């Protein structure tokens, strides 16, 4: 049976990993959003800028 201290460390590690994954998901979504906007602006600029 693991001690309370080990269980606490395990819980903290799991929470930390969960937060990192959540932040990574958010960051990827944000990057994709920025890329999409850049592509749309670029296409519009090419179509109407000439």
16-44, pLDDT tens digit by residue?
Answer: 999 999 999 999 999 999 999 999 999 99
Evaluate if residue 50 carries a pLDDT over 80: no
CA distance 25 to 15: 15
Q: What is the pLDDT of residue 1?
A: 75
Q: Find the angle CA(11)-CA(12)-CA(15) to the nearest 5 degrees.
A: 85
Of 11, 48, 47, 45, the C-alpha closest to 3 is: 11
* 24 or 50, higher pLDDT: 24
Number of helical H runs and strand E runs in the chain: 1, 0
pTM for the full predicted model? 0.58
CA distance 27 to 21: 10
User: What pLDDT band is residue 15 in, cutting at 50, 70 and 90?
Assistant: very high
Residue with tokens 């395990």: 10
């Amino acid at each position: 049976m693991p001690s309370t201290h080990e269980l606490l460390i395990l819980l903290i590690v799991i929470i930390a990993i969960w937060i990192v994954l959540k932040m990574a998901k958010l960051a990827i979504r944000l990057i994709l959003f920025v890329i999409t906007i850049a592509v749309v602006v670029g296409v519009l600029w090419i179509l109407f800028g000439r």
